[in-house]
Amino acid sequence: MSDLTTETLQEYDRKYVWHPFTQMKEWEAEPPLVISKGEGSWLIDSDGNRYLDGVGAIWTNVHGHCHPHINNAIKEQVDRLEHSTLLGLASEKPSILAKKLIEIAPEGLSKVFYSDNGSTAVEIGIKMAFQYWRHLGRAEKSKFISFKNAYHGDTVGAMSVGGVDIFHEVFRPLLFPTIQAPSTCCYRCELCLEQDSSRCNRECLAELERIMETHAHEVAGLIIEPLVQGAGGMIVQPDGFIRRVRELCSRFDILMIADEVAVGFGRTGTMFACNRESVTPDIMALSKGITAGYLPLAATLTTQKVYDAFLGEYSELKTFFHGHTFTGNPIACAAALASLELFERESLLKNLSSKIEVLQARLNAMIELKHVGDIRQCGMIAGIELVRDKGTKEPYNWVDRVGMSVCREARKHGIFLRPLGNVIVIFPPLSVSIEELNFLMDGVQKSILAVTEHPEDI
Ligand SMILES: *Cc1c(COP(=O)(O)O)cnc(C)c1O
């Protein structure tokens, strides 16, 4: 433990750390909360205050903070081998983990390419799909279909297939162009506002089909966040959507890349979101939950068919020329293996259904609130969208930062949250107890009420 005072830690932070997705002028104006410990679903600050971790360490935490089983697996691995490389060497833990991932992945995925974060897992998927068609002698298939509101990471390739204007627009000149399909149920178009989102979804799919009819000959792959568009605002797709996308990709000979970085590892109630509709993508990107929130690790899974296209004589240059220094780090792989053991040992997926029901009941009660415009849930993910006018769904101006104010208020109730604009995100560790979940939702409800209905009392 550090024996520095909270004030000193705050000073070091403000003096030296540049925070992600943060207006630092605002950050510097106030002393930050400094987290020094974690315990189950809780974060503990440098003054000993406890906060329920409502965003699961930014969507990564599965079994709670500092779980003894994962802690021990990491400690054991540190004393065996901290890192070698997968460039020219095999390694114990990455081999065992790859076998395990293929066992639990949708049927038909058979190879694992490691990296160390969600953005790189996506970049690898894009590069793989691109190079695949070159090896097949169809270099004209070089473009990508992506979705409006999609988020696939912050590196240049991953941003190129992204569709959240507020993050991506400034970088547009740097990005490669994609063919953008409309987002699934957008909650904003006229059809959705008239409560006919199923028609909106049908029209989105019809538009996707038209895009494919026109462009399939030049398209390498389609990239989708299955079931839920995360950073775009927790936008939940209707039943059957990814199954239909899979059918269209197959029909038009387009590789389907499923970005399960946020939704993988139990988050939506099944091990992977694709499992829900028995979909096997051609390429699947995994990261956030893979080490249960412990260490950076990512994996891009693909099929034998894609892999085989890269086989050839060395001189043919069919090699997949890509690799990161910490690819398949053994300590991270040991954490991932220990996490998967816990999934089995604690029947985690089976036990999730009662928590998902409690979350749903609590959310249903909140739809009555005056400034709650929409509530979206998929498994243990929820997004509560706050609006200025419930009738017209007129949004709050994003510069009003109502979402941020609610999350600030929640700290008074012992809860840590991080919004997406004016969407309050609920993404607790999957190990959260029903009692903790109720505590979380009590605090969320009180905070929304205080900020949107009784701001004079704050
Ligand atoms: C977070 C996220 C990424 C990017 O992962 P990083 O580890 O932050 O690079 C990619 N895709 C989805 C769906 C994500 O939620």
For the CA of 225, the nearest atom of ligand 1: 13
What's the rounded Cα separation, in Å, for the pair 221 and 141?
8
In a domain, 81, yes or no: yes
Do 226 and 102 fall within a single domain?
A: yes
Do 419 and 440 fall within a single domain?
A: yes
Distance of CA 150 to the CA centre of its chain: 11
DSSP string, 273-333: GGGGGT---SEEEE-GGGGTTSS--EEEEEEHHHHHHT-S-GGGT-S-----TTTT-HHHH
Do 302 and 368 fall within a single domain?
A: no
Ligand 1 binding pocket, CB closer than 6 Å: 117-119, 122, 151-153, 225, 230-231, 259, 261-262, 287-288
- The pTM of this model reads 0.97
Our count of domains for the chain comes to 2
Residue 328 Cα, ligand 1 centroid: separation in angstroms? 18
Residue 76 Cα, ligand 1 centroid: separation in angstroms? 29
Q: Which of 58, 122, 124 to mutate to test the pocket of ligand 1 (most atoms within 8 A of CB)?
A: 122
- Tokens describing residue 163: 């569709």
DSSP 8-state class, residue 112: E
For the CA of 260, the nearest atom of ligand 1: 13
What residue numbers bound the domain in which 315 lies? Answer: 70-345
In a domain, 44, yes or no: yes
Distance of CA 54 to the CA centre of its chain: 15
Do 226 and 240 fall within a single domain?
A: yes
Burial class from Cβ neighbours inside 10 Å (0-12, 13-18, 19+) for residue 47 reads: exposed
Do 169 and 271 fall within a single domain?
A: yes
- Tokens describing residue 254: 């387009």
Q: What is the CATH number of the domain that holds 365?
A: 3.90.1150.10
What's the rounded Cα separation, in Å, for the pair 227 and 273?
6
Q: Which of 58, 114, 116, 152 to mutate to test the pocket of ligand 1 (most atoms within 8 A of CB)?
A: 152
What's the rounded Cα separation, in Å, for the pair 418 and 148?
22
Q: Which of 123, 147, 261 to mutate to test the pocket of ligand 1 (most atoms within 8 A of CB)?
A: 261
Q: What is the pLDDT along the chain (458 residues), one digit of tens a residue?
A: 568 999 999 999 999 999 999 999 999 999 999 999 999 999 999 999 999 999 999 999 999 999 999 999 999 999 999 999 999 999 999 999 999 999 999 999 999 999 999 999 999 999 999 999 999 999 999 999 999 999 999 999 999 999 998 888 899 999 999 999 998 766 666 666 666 677 778 889 999 999 999 999 999 999 999 999 999 999 999 899 999 999 999 999 999 999 999 999 999 999 999 999 999 999 999 999 999 999 999 999 999 999 999 999 999 999 999 999 999 999 999 999 999 999 999 999 999 999 999 999 999 999 999 999 999 999 999 999 999 999 888 899 878 899 999 999 999 999 999 999 999 999 999 999 999 999 999 999 999 999 999 888 77
Do 291 and 393 fall within a single domain?
A: no
Letter for the amino acid at 421?
G
In a domain, 39, yes or no: yes
For 36, other C-beta atoms within 10 Å of its C-beta total 15
Residue 288 Cα, ligand 1 centroid: separation in angstroms? 7
| Residue that finishes a domain, picked among 326, 345, 364 | 345
| Residue that finishes a domain, picked among 345, 378, 411 | 345
Do 133 and 231 fall within a single domain?
A: yes
Do 121 and 148 fall within a single domain?
A: yes
Do 366 and 222 fall within a single domain?
A: no
Residue 181 Cα, ligand 1 centroid: separation in angstroms? 20
In a domain, 168, yes or no: yes
What's the rounded Cα separation, in Å, for the pair 322 and 93?
21
Q: What is the CATH number of the domain that holds 180?
A: 3.40.640.10
Do 58 and 196 fall within a single domain?
A: no
Query: φ and ψ at 93, to 5 degrees?
Result: -65, -45
For the CA of 298, the nearest atom of ligand 1: 7
Do 118 and 159 fall within a single domain?
A: yes
Residue 210 Cα, ligand 1 centroid: separation in angstroms? 29
In a domain, 110, yes or no: yes
Residue 48 Cα, ligand 1 centroid: separation in angstroms? 31
In a domain, 183, yes or no: yes
Beta strands in 121-234 (DSSP E): 143-147, 179-181, 219-224, 228-229
Residue 59 Cα, ligand 1 centroid: separation in angstroms? 9
Residue 118 Cα, ligand 1 centroid: separation in angstroms? 4
For the CA of 296, the nearest atom of ligand 1: 7
Do 295 and 373 fall within a single domain?
A: no
| Residue that finishes a domain, picked among 292, 321, 345 | 345
Q: Which of 267, 283, 288 to mutate to test the pocket of ligand 1 (most atoms within 8 A of CB)?
A: 288
- Tokens describing residue 162: 């992204």
Give the model confidence (pLDDT) of 287-314 as tens digits.
Answer: 999 999 999 999 999 999 999 999 999 9
